[in-house]
A and B are shown apart, each in its own frame.
Chain A
Amino acid sequence: MKSLFIAFVVFTLGLLAFSTYQALFVAPTEQTMGEVQRIFYYHVPSAWTAGVCFFVNFLASVVYLWKRNLASDALAAASAEVGVTFCTIVLITGPIWARPVWGIWWTWDARLTTTLVLWLIYVSYLVLRRFSAGGQTQVLAAALAIFGFVDVPIVYMSIRWFRTQHPSPVMGGGENSGLDPAMLHAFFWNLLAFTCVGIVLMAVRYRLQMLEETVEATHAAAALQGGAQ
């Protein structure tokens, strides 16, 4: 199992190098925006990976509330943290792109605002897990995760439902949407690479969570034993 994971990490690193090369050197330069458009190849896959992580968090939280098993709670914690990391990348690379293209760093349009709200929801989730004391922390966190996930489809649909300054959807956005085939190629490689990075980080974080739970349980058992003597 360990060697399989190491092989997957090596594959992911190779894929990341290849996809970055595709984004920076192979994909054609966009005519209107120029070089800055290449931020798209990191920005959108980061948003996609964050969405996948939050979906995993949602599923794991539902399973935790249903079965109350430690593994699903650990997966929920891991996926939320990795999701917040990717969402942070989205919220930073977006304004870096916006400044030269729009002339402003930020605007309170539907897509940007709902994404910021999404980030805040999952940061609250992590704060709750980290600082809440008592036996109900995992249950409260799972409930927050289920309600919080409602914002994910809202973020996705915001540029379809509202008139926003954010660019309209590139994929599945109607007749005038779409990418040049060479750009699409680079985009899909990056989408795959970022998804694999997300999986690797979630696996590492999950393992860490399980170890932390073991240490905590051992401490608790030792304290009980000490108390009994």
Chain B
Amino acid sequence: MTGPVALKAAYIVTWVILLGYLGSLLRRFRRVREEMKDLKRGDNTDHHRDTEAQRNSLQNP
């Protein structure tokens, strides 16, 4: 490996590692945000189900 080739290789490796890590962080962010959205949706569904049950119990005691 000659000097200029080694220089290019070292700089490319550095950028690939940093960008790869940043990419992995962003992927994990997207996954967590989707999970949070699902949880919120689940909460809303539960809340809706509870309200329905309350209404039914009031209508048919």
- A residues near B, CB below 8 A? 20, 24, 33-36, 38-39, 42-43, 46, 82, 85, 88-89, 92-93, 96-97, 99-100, 197, 201, 204-205, 207-208, 211-212, 214-215, 218-219, 222
Contacts and interface: CB of A to CB of B under 8 A. Distances in A.
Given A93-B13, A211-B29, A212-B28, 16 more contacts: A20-B11, A35-B4, A35-B7, A36-B3, A39-B6, A85-B21, A88-B17, A89-B18, A93-B10, A96-B13, A99-B6, A100-B3, A201-B22, A208-B32, A215-B39, A222-B39
A186 to B, nearest CB: 14
Given A39-B10, A89-B17, A93-B10, A214 B3 contact: no
A77 to B, nearest CB: 12
A92 B39 contact: no
Interface residues of B, number: 24
Nearest to A45: B14
A35 B8 CA distance: 10
A36 B10 CA distance: 9
25 contacts: A34-B3, A35-B3, A35-B7, A38-B7, A39-B6, A39-B10, A42-B10, A43-B10, A85-B17, A85-B18, A89-B14, A96-B1, A96-B6, A99-B1, A204-B22, A204-B25, A205-B25, A208-B28, A211-B32, A211-B33, A215-B39, A218-B36, A219-B39, A222-B39, A222-B42
